[in-house]
Structure 1
Amino acid sequence: MRRLLRNPASLLGAALVAVMVLLALIGPPIWEAAATRIDPGRINQGASSAHLLGTDALGRDLLARALVATRLTLGLAFLATLIGTVCGIVLGALPALLPHRAGRVVIAGVDILVAFPALLLAMFTAVVTGLGARGAVLGIGVAIAPTFARLTHTLTASIAGADYIAAARMLQVPRRRVLTRHLLPNIAEPLILNTAQAMGSALLGLSAMSFLGMGVQAPSYDWGRLLNEAFGHVYITPSVVVAPATAVALAGLGFMLVGDTFARAAAGSGGPAGQPAAPLIALATDAPLPDAVLEVRELTVAFPGGITPVRQVSLTVREQEIVGLVGESGSGKSMTAAAIGQIVPYPGLVGSARTRLCGVDLGSLKEADRRKLLGTSLAMVFQDPTSSLNPALRVGGQLTEVATLHDGATRTEARARAVERLARVHIKEPAQVVRQYPHELSGGMRQRAVIAMGLMGTPRLIIADEPTTALDVTVQREVIKVLREAVDSTRAGALFISHDIAVVSELCDRIAVMYAGRIVEELPAASLRDARHPYTRALIGSLPDMDTDRSRPLSTIPGRQPAPGDVTDGCAFADRCSLATDRCATRPELRTATDGHAVACWEAP
């Protein structure tokens, strides 16, 4: 509204739209009689004191007819806009509901329709459905739909990778519910804003159709029909086209200016859907470890083109144990977490020799049973709490979804549980926080709210994917404390992913070091200073402490980590390692010593 009041063009557009709406309401009652009165003595006359803009072929007042036609013109334009926007949104949202191949067919069809001239598409539809107001409305609606379909698909794809969408897919929330609850509410604003401009386009298109004789038919009339009837006399009495032509121009301009204002305001305020990968493949059936909440053996994630970001990763997480997964960005940590939660985006493929959650083999479960187990026993905390929480929903509504969807709790019970879980993670006034939107919370509160969301069920495994990266050190310590308390109070296990080895050493019981998609070392956190792999020692050496000489530059690791598609058969760290020998051309296996310390390096002590 502030932008509307400051901008003269915006004020003009709003005033024009208000005047047109007012005329549509009062026009027929006031001027209907003058618009329909036939006067044979005043046929096709020009402007006069009795008829300011002249008369038509039956002596009817053209100004009165233009004012009365406002209602029908705006009504038909609104109906055409409604048809076009609804059909376009449905068409643009279909790729998020359909399988990948069917979705691509829909997108290709939309692209073809967008390339086709809109007016020709409207005329073709009108001819097929029948000339008249109904055919014109359907034609303009069909012409508007492809533009809205393209916009809807683009907006949907832009947020399809958000963490809260990934969390919903991890919970196996039905696609229709993901679309209506998580996707469409977050793209509603630009769609609504574009509707004003679509209204202007529909009004101009319908007037053009009626002018060409394909729209409103006599005895009904809109502005386009009035132009059609007056065009034969325009060279004799030019005033006969002034009223309908001016009305079309002013109404179209008004809606365009209002739509442009809303679009600019939204832009200034700031603020292909993936298909789940194939299910985990179980190839081994030996007995599960009695105290393990997660067992993963030889987990591999691959994408077309020979890209393999995760290579034969094996991990075990026990009850009340926090295992840290540490490594540089791009080492495959987050993709490992996604594979465990079965939210690897299409077209990724996930395979493993064994993947057990709470002693149950995920590969042996039916879809419904796997959905139930993952939804209640696995909690995921993502890196960015802003994208983890749906900005269009209140915090309480998002927390209660797990309880209502998987535990069958009532709304009242779920809300009470949400308040209790928020209090458990040390959020003050939790009863008030459940009624707030994510943007009303601080970064630390949002992250703790995400942790509380994971605790809404009865999680046996908590996966925290770099939950402290975007937070300052004070809030980092609070989040670490909350995670530790959550593990201790629920007796769950936790997989804590980070590139900050200092945070990992403080929080975790065991540490697994990952490089180029593989685990290269695994050791107790208390023995971190006794690390044996050159990469782990380099990570520790690059970490400053109170004894670091500030007059000297910090230690760095030369070179860079190979991309997932460039990893060779040998040791991936050899090019950056000062201890590398010819033997490193063969990849070393992860060997476990008697003290439980495992390392994959030929030169490690």
Structure 2
Amino acid sequence: MRALRTPSAIAAVSLFTLLILVTVLAPLLLDGPATARDVNGMRAGMTSEHWLGTDGAGRDVLARVLIATRLSLGLAVLTTAIGVVLGTLLGCSPAVLPRRASRLVIAFINVMVAVPGLLLALFLAVLFGVGARGAVLALALAMTPNIARLTHTLAASVQSAEYVQAARMLGASKARIIGRHIVPNIAGPLIVAATVAVGSNLLAFAGLSFLGFGVQLPSYDWGQLLNEGLDQIYVNPAAALAPGVAILLAGVTFTMLGEYCTTALGTSATGGSPRRSAATVATATTVAATDDGSQVPRRDASTARVARRRPDAAELRAVGLTVVADGSDGPVQLVRNVSLSLAPGEIVGMVGESGSGKSLTALAMAQLDAPPLRVTAQRLEFAGEELQQMSDAERRRLLGTGLAMVFQDPQTALNPMLRVGRQLAEVAEVHAGVDRSDAHQLAIDRLGAVRIPAPDRRARQYPHEFSGGMRQRAVIAMGLMGDPRVILADEPTTALDVSVQKRILDLLVDVADQRAATVLLISHDVAVVSQLADRVVVMYAGRIVEDLPAADLVSGAAHPYTRALIASVPDLSTDRSRPLPTIPGGPPDPRAMPAGCAFASRCSRAEERCREVDPELVQLTPKHRVACWNSHIAMADQEPR
């Protein structure tokens, strides 16, 4: 309702209401004057009886103009509806087609957008033949490329959203992802474009009728009346001007209505209510609820977790994992030859600067990297199964319930157009074939399991009605809808305050304990990872440079980069009068990776060999790997902090 407070919005809604009233009432009230022929008053000018005069058959011009509103608006709306449907389907098709076919579709859209719409409409009108049906098809097809281009652009931006990635990981089909997650979230701009297009199509249709391609006698629309009135422009100008004014007024109305829709939909998305992705947990997860502000979570259940570990093969293992993107000068390696194994029940922390490849590595291991990124690996196993040898359906079935992803920003990890309970229930519907009501009840149980209060009521709410911490809990609950063996947490507390961070991290530990699940925790915070994880993996410039037990991180780190990260973390003994230590320089550009060690330009221990040959990741001890030529010097120089 806030959008109606502006004069332009009030004018748009008022004019639109007037058009609707004329459309409904004019044929009922004015059919007699519009069809009655006055032989003595043919082509008469404006009189008290005929305010805008009469046409060549003596019929009242004003009545015919008002009655023509229904056909004119109806054809314009029908044309727009067909064009929007075709354009939306065409614009979404690249998301479901193979890569080569999608490129051809995109190229076709780009070429057709370059063709003037009116010329295309005239050409198609000739092909389809004269008449309202041919004109509708011609104008609908003429507007389809523009709607398709808009749809493709919007869909491409939504496709990278985390809730779409989550739906893809859960095994939802491409059609389901488009229908439930992409189209509803781009509906706002499409509605605005469609509203404005009605006005444009109204004018275009009138033009085709004026030229004789559109509505044919005895039916008539504003374009037909404009053609008839042009013959008496010098005798009775009102007969020609009236349909022209009607076209102008209706076109302006829909343009203003489009601006109103832009404001109204924008308000709804940000502050209002949006219009719209197993067994029950036997015991609720215990979550610490202290408000002491401490950022370091407890590890009270670590003993239980270690006891429940299974000594068999790794839950998730990658050997020689590489992620490549196509650049202007050729392929660019973003993740370089990463080998990582996550043991059952283990919590592994992954740290490194922004751009070091942490998130890309996790997404690649979860098979969530989409084109133009290309993922290759010598081996990529989940629960002992080689993922690269599976079909898409088999991979979705395995990962959809066995692997859970907790994204960095819970606001983007949940579809803003769907209720929270509906998104959680989708997991059970897709993978377990549970009916809608049972899946909804299961979603409520899972929300209760992550200690969300009043889960029944919360399940019926939208994500914007949750706090940041509750949204993150809901994302964890979504992962629990299956039976996750591995939880990938990509900086799950970055957007939250300190007290909420502690609760979320405690919850992750408790979930891992309850289910003996493996957790990969990605974070910038070395202090949190060192307290929470069993093992710490350090990444730099797209590769692992060190992998060691968390207990040895402070005293046993061998790589200069790891030691520099630790040194930059303040503690109670830090001298507050001095600036915090920083790492000089910056990470190398992936497009111009140096021949030797990527950290050499920032390392005080670097020597000639470091700049010429990149060190391999070697086993320093049975539980400690490092990629550094001078690791022995680093170990010798370690000083207690």
TM-score normalised by structure 1 residue count: 0.94
Q: 1:267, CA displacement in angstroms? A: 4.6
Kept after mapping to 2: 8 A contact 1:298/1:352: yes
Q: 1:560, CA displacement in angstroms? A: 0.6
Kept after mapping to 1: 8 A contact 2:316/2:341: yes
- Select which of 521, 534, 547 maps to 2:573: 547
Following superposition of structure 1 onto structure 2, how do residues 49-68 of structure 1 map, counting pairs within 5 Å?
49-68=48-67
Mean alpha-carbon deviation: is it higher for 398-407 or for 409-418? Answer: 409-418
Cα separation, 1, equivalents of 2:347 and 2:496:
20
Instruction: Determine whether 1:461 maps to 2:483.
Output: no
SS at the partner of 2:17? helix
Q: 1:365, CA displacement in angstroms? A: 2.8
Find the counterpart in structure 2 of residue 330 from structure 1.
355
Mean alpha-carbon deviation: is it higher for 540-549 or for 289-298? Answer: 289-298
Kept after mapping to 2: 8 A contact 1:290/1:359: no
Q: 1:143, CA displacement in angstroms? A: 2.4
Kept after mapping to 2: 8 A contact 1:53/1:242: no
Following superposition of structure 1 onto structure 2, how do residues 7-86 of structure 1 map, counting pairs within 5 Å?
7-86=6-85
Cα separation, 2, equivalents of 1:365 and 1:88:
35
Kept after mapping to 2: 8 A contact 1:425/1:451: yes
Q: Which residue identity does 1:558 align to in structure 2?
A: P
Q: 1:434, CA displacement in angstroms? A: 1.1
Distance 1:324 1:549, change over 3 A: same
Question: Could you say what the CA RMSD is over the residues aligned between the two structures, in angstroms?
Answer: 1.7
Kept after mapping to 1: 8 A contact 2:171/2:430: no
Following superposition of structure 1 onto structure 2, how do residues 354-503 of structure 1 map, counting pairs within 5 Å?
354-503=379-528
Q: 1:289, CA displacement in angstroms? A: 6.9
Cα separation, 1, equivalents of 2:391 and 2:93:
26
SS at the partner of 1:300? strand
- Select which of 299, 314, 320 maps to 1:298: 320
Cα separation, 1, equivalents of 2:417 and 2:197:
24
SS at the partner of 1:209? helix
Identity %: 53
Find the counterpart in structure 2 of residue 528 from structure 1.
553
Q: 1:166, CA displacement in angstroms? A: 1.2
Cα separation, 2, equivalents of 1:298 and 1:492:
24
Q: What's the CA shift string for 1:314-366, capped at 9, x where partnerless?
A: 21211221011111111111111111111112132222222221122223333
SS at the partner of 1:572? coil
Kept after mapping to 2: 8 A contact 1:570/1:587: yes
- Select which of 594, 600, 603 maps to 1:574: 600
Kept after mapping to 2: 8 A contact 1:56/1:230: yes
Cα separation, 2, equivalents of 1:269 and 1:181:
19
Cα separation, 1, equivalents of 2:119 and 2:380:
57
Find the counterpart in structure 2 of residue 278 from structure 1.
none
Following superposition of structure 1 onto structure 2, how do residues 44-443 of structure 1 map, counting pairs within 5 Å?
44-267=43-266, 271=270, 290-304=312-326, 305-443=330-468
Cα separation, 2, equivalents of 1:267 and 1:363:
43
Cα separation, 1, equivalents of 2:342 and 2:513:
14
SS at the partner of 2:590? coil
Find the counterpart in structure 2 of residue 590 from structure 1.
617
SS at the partner of 2:354? coil
Find the counterpart in structure 1 of residue 292 from structure 2.
none
SS at the partner of 2:231? helix
Q: 1:50, CA displacement in angstroms? A: 2.1
Kept after mapping to 1: 8 A contact 2:311/2:344: no
Kept after mapping to 2: 8 A contact 1:448/1:479: yes
Find the counterpart in structure 1 of residue 2 from structure 2.
2
Q: May I ask how many residue pairs the two structures share in their alignment?
A: 588
SS at the partner of 1:593? strand
Find the counterpart in structure 2 of residue 519 from structure 1.
544
Q: Which residue identity does 1:599 align to in structure 2?
A: V
Mean alpha-carbon deviation: is it higher for 261-270 or for 487-496? Answer: 261-270
Q: 1:147, CA displacement in angstroms? A: 2.0
Distance 1:103 1:354, change over 3 A: closer
Cα separation, 1, equivalents of 2:99 and 2:387:
24
Kept after mapping to 2: 8 A contact 1:294/1:316: yes
Cα separation, 2, equivalents of 1:269 and 1:428:
26
Cα separation, 2, equivalents of 1:364 and 1:257:
55
Q: 1:292, CA displacement in angstroms? A: 2.1
Q: 1:574, CA displacement in angstroms? A: 0.9
Cα separation, 1, equivalents of 2:481 and 2:238:
72
Cα separation, 1, equivalents of 2:142 and 2:266:
26
Cα separation, 2, equivalents of 1:367 and 1:75:
45
Q: What's the CA shift string for 1:176-204, capped at 9, x where partnerless?
A: 11100110010112212222211111111
Cα separation, 2, equivalents of 1:62 and 1:327:
77
Structure 1 runs (4+) greater than 3 angstroms displaced: 264-271
Q: 1:478, CA displacement in angstroms? A: 0.6
Q: Which residue identity does 2:232 align to in structure 1?
A: H
Find the counterpart in structure 2 of residue 285 from structure 1.
none
Cα separation, 2, equivalents of 1:258 and 1:365:
51
Cα separation, 1, equivalents of 2:601 and 2:506:
38
Q: 1:144, CA displacement in angstroms? A: 2.3
Q: What's the CA shift string for 1:91-128, capped at 9, x where partnerless?
A: 11111121222122222222222222222222212111
Mean alpha-carbon deviation: is it higher for 39-48 or for 387-396? Answer: 39-48
Q: Which residue identity does 1:222 align to in structure 2?
A: D
Q: What's the CA shift string for 1:547-576, capped at 9, x where partnerless?
A: 100000000000111122222231111111
Q: 1:487, CA displacement in angstroms? A: 0.5
Cα separation, 1, equivalents of 2:241 and 2:553:
85
Distance 1:170 1:40, change over 3 A: same
Cα separation, 2, equivalents of 1:140 and 1:302:
43
Mean alpha-carbon deviation: is it higher for 240-249 or for 490-499? Answer: 240-249
SS at the partner of 2:113? helix
TM-score normalised by structure 2 residue count: 0.89
Mean alpha-carbon deviation: is it higher for 410-419 or for 60-69? Answer: 410-419
Cα separation, 2, equivalents of 1:336 and 1:232:
73
Kept after mapping to 2: 8 A contact 1:194/1:263: no
Find the counterpart in structure 2 of residue 602 from structure 1.
629
Q: 1:447, CA displacement in angstroms? A: 0.8
Q: What's the CA shift string for 1:374-421, capped at 9, x where partnerless?
A: 112111111111111111111111112222211222323322222222
Kept after mapping to 2: 8 A contact 1:289/1:359: no
Q: 1:270, CA displacement in angstroms? A: 6.0
SS at the partner of 2:337? strand
Kept after mapping to 1: 8 A contact 2:487/2:518: yes
Cα separation, 1, equivalents of 2:440 and 2:235:
74
Q: 1:216, CA displacement in angstroms? A: 1.1
- Select which of 563, 581, 586 maps to 1:537: 563
Q: Which residue identity does 2:148 align to in structure 1?
A: A
Find the counterpart in structure 2 of residue 284 from structure 1.
none
Q: Which residue identity does 2:30 align to in structure 1?
A: W
Kept after mapping to 1: 8 A contact 2:171/2:431: no
Kept after mapping to 2: 8 A contact 1:510/1:524: yes
SS at the partner of 2:321? strand
